[in-house]
Every structure is written in C-alpha cells, then in structure tokens.
A and B are shown apart, each in its own frame.
Chain A
Amino acid sequence: MKLRRSRLYVPGNNPKMIPPAGLYCSDVISLDLEDSVGPEFKVDARMLVSEALKVIDFGPCTEVTVRINPLSTPWGKWDIEQVVCEKLSGIYIPKVESVEDVIQVDEMVSRMEERKGLERGRIKLFATMETAMGIINAPEIARASKRLEGITIGGEDLTADLGGERSADGLAINTARSLILLAARAAGIQAIDTVYSDFEDEEGLRRETTMIKKMGFDGKACIHPLQIEVIHEVFNPTQEEIRYAVRVTNAIEKARKKGSGVIALGKKMVDRPIALKAERILARARAAELSIPDVEEDV
C-alpha cells in the first residue's frame, strides 16, 4: 500500500524552499505551479520546477509530484510538457469539474511519456475538486482514468464557491468531504483532505486531522513542514491498535489451522469488518515502518 498521509506543498518559484523539501519526510511533495505562484512568475516557476525535478534528490521517503495549472489557463498545457520526466511520480490537477478535465491531462501525459521515451502509464494523476460542480461530478471523475490514484478537495476555493465560511468545525465543507470520500472508495482509490491553513495552531491541526481520519481519509495536505509530524502521528495506528490487529490475525490463523469457520477472540466473534480493519491497520503499520510486536496467543 502506498502511504499518502501527508502531502507538502512547496511554492514552485522559491529556489530556497525547493531543495530542502525532501528533508521533512512527508509522504508526498507537491511542487506547486498553481495557487502559490503569481501570474508573473508562472514561467519562472515552471522552469525552476522542471530543472529541480531533474537534479534534486528529494530522498527516499517521498513521492514527488507537481500541481499544474488547470488546462483552462494559458499555462496548464506547457506545465505538463515541461514537468513530465523520469523523476516525476504524479501530477495533481486542480479545479477539476468534469471527467473531461482528467482525460485531457491523461492524454497529454501519455503523449509526453511517448515523446520523451518514458515508461507508459507510470505517472499517476490526482484530481482536486474545488467547486460545487466538481464535488457533484466526483463519482464519475474518480473513475475517469487508470492513472488516477486519489482525489482530493480544495477547502478554500470550495468554501468560497459555496458561499460558506471556513471554520474550525469545517461545517461548510464537511458534506463535500463525505462525497469525495464516497466517490474515492466507490472507485477504489484514495481520498486526501485539504490543508489546515494556520500552521502555528498545532492543536487545531490535530483536531481536524483526527476528524478526517475518523471519516476515512487517507491523508491530508500541508502548507508547512511543521505539520507533517502531527499528521503522521494522527494517521499512524497506535501501539494498542497494532496489538489488537495482531491478535485478530493470530485468531484468524488459528481458526484456519483448526479448520473452524467460527473465529473467536476471547469471548468476541471476529467478523469480516473486524478482520478487514485489522488487515488495514497492519498494512499501514508496515508501510510506516512501525514496530509490530509479537503478541501472546489468547487462550
């Protein structure tokens, strides 16, 4: 399983911020050509990012992606042309409103892979829905391309589009969050949440991350490296969760050996959801390189 707990935005036109971006071990880096770059710097940023992709080693822990400009802007097409390269793992497409928005990017990426002699289909796509239209079309968008490995939500733009207000409880966008999650799960891909903007508010970040984790999200975007550790802490299964999951899988294994169809852990029945949850926790723990203890067999 590919962990995408944290996704760090790095402004694409800042030569000071790009080289150390891999040091913080976020699961994903998004070199940004879109909202953090003003129109007058779009071309500079594109050149800087495409060069950075070639020469900078972002380290082993990170999936390196670029957030391009939408194809509806004068920059989007050229962004794709220049950033597609050997070292690029994925592209985040902003302001997606229709299946077409994803397919166009998919086709362009395919052409570039061919032209540059790259392995076909390796570069993944991620679609961000930031408008009511995008959210409503999310179920189809989530199935728009084989390259699509996740969908995500843009909190600020969406709030503005809805006419609501950003707040600690996320009232304005929580329905959209649920829809994105449903669309992602129905399509069998990941769901990644929007940023928490106040990077000095660690408690607020922890609260919101805990909430979206409980909803079922796979990860969250960040605007500051300080946020990564908190997000990982929340997403990583706790030692108790891991121990319980080990006990569940031990019980399943034991029942299988006995040829028994009924699996019991202590006095509790282990049914399918519990088994699935245990599997997911262990997969996460392994991916995050957490220690998995040997647990005594239950008598």
Chain B
Amino acid sequence: MVDSNEVEWVKNQIGRMVPRSINGEELTPYCGPFSAVPRNDRKHGPRLGYIADQTSEVIATLGAAMERVGLKDGMTISFHHHFRNGDMVMNMVLQEIQKMGIRNLTLAPSSTFQCQEDMIIQCIKDGTIAHIEGGSARGEFGRLVSSGKYLDKPMKIRSHGGRVRAVEAGDIKIDVAFVGAPSADELGNLNAINGPSACGTINFAYVDVNFADHVIAITDNLVEYPNFPMSISQEKVDYVVVVDKIGDPSKIASGELRVTNSPTRLKIAKDAVKIADLLGYVIDGMNFQAGAGGISLAFNEYLHKLMKKKGITAGWAQGGTTKFLVDMLKDGTVKKLITGQAFDMVAIENMKNNPNHVDLPIGAYANIHGKGCTVNKLDVVVLGATEVDLDFNANTATMSTGIIAEPVGGHSDTAAGASLTILTVPLFRGRFPVVVKRCTTVVTPGETVDVVVTERGIAINPRRMDLLEALKHAKVPKEMRICTIEELNRMATDITGSKVEPNWGNKIVALIEYRDGTIIDVVRDVVPKYYDDAVYVDKDRE
C-alpha cells in the first residue's frame, strides 16, 4: 500500500495536494479543465487478429475461451455495466478465473453494482484481483477499498469519458474484454436490443472491443448469422460463449422509475427548471441532459411541462434514458434522444423501433481527447453531488465520512462540456451539510459548475458574470432565494453544525483522475473513529 508519507506531494490548480508519482508511474497534477494535452502521441494499439478460414467462433465453455486467448496472471480484464444490478457475467467470469487459479489480475470495469460486490471482495481477498482501474466503487466494495487493507496500488476512479481516454491512451491496457451480449451470432456480431437480457445498448463496451487484445462475448441468445443490427461487429470478437443466463431482466431495467416524493427534492427540481428558464436557457432548440435520480426525473418532468407551456422544442437530450425522456420524444418536445444507458423497459423498447433514439460510443459522448464529443454541445446539464464547496468544487465519489461510495459517472465530463451546469442538492443530508467549506474529495472542479440549487437558496458561480448579469434583469419569484455559496454554507451549518473531517489514515487508497488524465484529488484510508458502522468489517475474521 502506498504510504502518504513516502510520496512527494504537489499542489494542483484547485489547491489539492496530489502525488507526483506513485510506484514509479509519473502523475500529472490537475491544471484546469481544458489545459492538459494528451501525453502520448498515438493511440494504444491492440493485437492483430487471425481468422484464416474460421466459420464459427462459438466455444463450448468460458474456461476454454479464456485458455484460447491465453488469460494469465497479471493481466487486465474488463466488463461493461449495462446489466446493472442484474449482471451475471462478471460473477461467472471471476468464478471461472478463480477455478483456473489465475492471480493478480487488474479489474477494469466501466462500473460495478451491488450484485458483484461479494465476488469482487472474495477475489481481492484471495489474490485473484490485485488492482482496480477505473469505474467506481460503492457499497461494501467501496468500504473495502477505503479500508486500505487489501489492495497494494491505489484504485483509479475515472469518469465515463476519462475511462475511454485512458483505454485509448493505453493507460489501461485491456488484455481480455468480456462482453455480455443480449444477442450474438456465431462470429460475434452483437447487439443489445434483442433477447431475454436486452438492455438497449452495450455502448460502454465499444471502446473495450476496439482496444482490447482479446474479446470474449458471452450470450444467452445465439441467433442465426448474421445478427442485425451489428452494434459490435464480428471483426472485434475472438470467441463467443453461450451460457444459460447473462442477466436478470427484472434487475437490468428498473420497473418504473419514480419521481421523488419528497417536497424539498421536488422544490429543488422545480427551482432548477425555473432558474434555467430565468437565465435564458429554456429556449427552442436547447439540448440537455438530466439523469435518472429522483431530482433529475422531476427536473425532466417540470421541464417537459414548461416547454409545452412555452410551445418550444428541444433539439436533443442525452444520458441515461427513461420513460420520462421517451415521453418527450414521443410528443415531439424533444427531437432526438441519445442513450448512454437505458434505465427502464420503455427506453429499451423504444430503442428498438425509434430511429430518433440512438446510442453512441461513450468516447463520442464524453472523451476529451477524442475528436468531438456530445457533452460539448450540451446547453444544460443537471447533476447531483454528495458535497459542493465554496469554490463550487463537487464531490461525487466519497461520502462526507471519506468512504468511497458513489459512482462518478459522467459528472465531470458533462459539467465541463455543458454551457450551464446545475447542481441540484439538498442543503444537508441527515446530519451532514452538503454545501461545505471544502469538499472531502473533489471530482468535478468548480470552474465547470455554474449554479447550485438547494431547497433554501440558489447560488451562482461568481466566475459566471454573464449569469449574474442576466439575473439582474430577470423577475425572480419570491419563493426562489438567490444568494451566495457562502450563505448556503452558513444556512447548512446552522442546521447541522460544521462538517467533521474524516479521520484519515496515511494510506492512499484511490486517485481521482480528471477526464484528461490529470490527478485532481486523492482518497486516503479512513480509520474508524466516529463512524464505526461506515467502514468495511471483515466478517471472515470475526
């Protein structure tokens, strides 16, 4: 484990101390949202394939496929997270790897879910997995990483766009990508819209299959050749393995996502729509992104109502798509939908039939070192956060206790790209203030955050003089209070008391990598003191 006393520290542009290097790997401190140029001149290149006169790539067992591609100790394996909490692929693969006795692997998933926690933790403890690259950790897995006891190298936490950049740059060299495929044919043409485990899209795997040395597709739905549409085409796929089940459909898609019931959360959503409108962003042709959290869904719903009232149409919307966005597409309030993930059955079904509802490679969505990404065309994005501080920096990775708990997703990507980035947060959660003096961990730099909407007031980033000017001429309804971020912090701490700093240890357990590959912050281990319940408890040892 990396001892924080043994590394050389340097202050980055937002004033956070970050290591100059770790285990011989040189790191670049964060230097502004658009300042870092790629370190490598060329993209990382995967191996050439060799197909000769092969007419089928179907292999009887997972173990046999792994042997054929030569999976061995120390390699890097990757997964996509489209089956969400219904995923069976990662567990099945890790189990097979455990059986084969392969060790010291690097796990590089696009994200992980609760259903995989037990397996990942087992594999970390028995040495099958030695390192975690990218994605994020939550639940027990997050607590385990935060304990600093099991992994020698710090985990790297990356945004969606940042992961694509890292794979293309060769920062993550994927040896074998395992791609769960809702439908596949015998040469490995894959898509996600047909089959019992349909999840709408598998676009998080697009970068993996392009840059991994080997690709093993795992399907429960082998169809007649050729499989249309070819979302991932045969030229990328080494082998296809057919299994009984790759996912639990009831958990892949949420049955029906519900708008929050909480009056304060609803007020936050409504005020976010109103402030976007007052600032002149709710106009004909606007492009926006709002996620699938309770507040974001309510934002979608209120925005939908307002747009209909104003008789305007959005150009496109993107992100995790749900019934709420599909409704807007169907009644013409939004012209086009771009899906990052499909969150419910309505979105999945709609992707099958609606030519104006498509998926995109995640690189095209958010990679700063690509040649164009949709986030740059966003007018408005609505995001949450676990904390936001006086510099408007946002934390989406750890709780206020310092424990790694939340997926960072496309937070920093969209914040950097969108013209208007709105953070919708309650002023406090339980006993923790959300608007704090200094974030426990910074994921998204304040320079890319424009407005913070809480139930008790709205703060505009003073860097955005144009927004402050626009508000001077707007008639702000009296139920919306415009104030400074300092006032929000004071209101929060008047209720909860000041934030208590976590009891940090001296191990570096995670590096927060900004989307351009620079280091924006580090996470240390948390020594249980105040919150015994929040740290990882090894049940086997007790």
Contact = CB atoms under 8 A, between A and B. Distances in A.
Nearest to B264: A20
Given A224-B263, A225-B266, A24 B495 contact: no
A226 B270 CA distance: 10
Contact of A61 (B267, B456, B479, B495): B479
Contacts of A291: 475
Given A19-B495, A20-B455, A25 B479 contact: yes
Interface in B388-418: none
Contacts of A229: 270
Nearest to B479: A25
Interface in A177-231: 224-226, 229
Interface of B: 263-264, 266-267, 270, 455-456, 475, 478-479, 495
B32 to A, nearest CB: 37
Contacts of B479: 23-25, 61
Nearest to B475: A291
Given A23-B455, A291-B475, 5 more contacts: A20-B264, A25-B479, A61-B478, A224-B263, A226-B263
6 contacts: A20-B455, A20-B456, A23-B455, A24-B479, A25-B479, A224-B263
A205 B263 CA distance: 17
Contacts, number: 27
B478 A24 contact: no
Interface of A: 19-20, 23-25, 60-61, 224-226, 229, 289, 291
A5 to B, nearest CB: 13
B475 A25 contact: no
A6 to B, nearest CB: 11
B495 A225 contact: no
Contacts of B456: 20, 23
Contact of B267 (A19, A60, A225): A225
Contact of B478 (A224, A226, A289): A289
A26 to B, nearest CB: 9
A25 B478 CA distance: 8
B511 to A, nearest CB: 38
Contacts of B263: 20, 24, 224-226
Nearest to B266: A226
Nearest to A290: B475
Q: Which of A20, A60, A224, A291 is packed against the most chain B CB atoms within 10 Å? A: A20
B154 to A, nearest CB: 39
Contact of A60 (B264, B478, B495): B478
A20 B264 CA distance: 7
Nearest to B495: A19
A19 B263 CA distance: 12
Interface-centre pick from B263, B264, B266 (highest chain A CB count, 10 A): B263
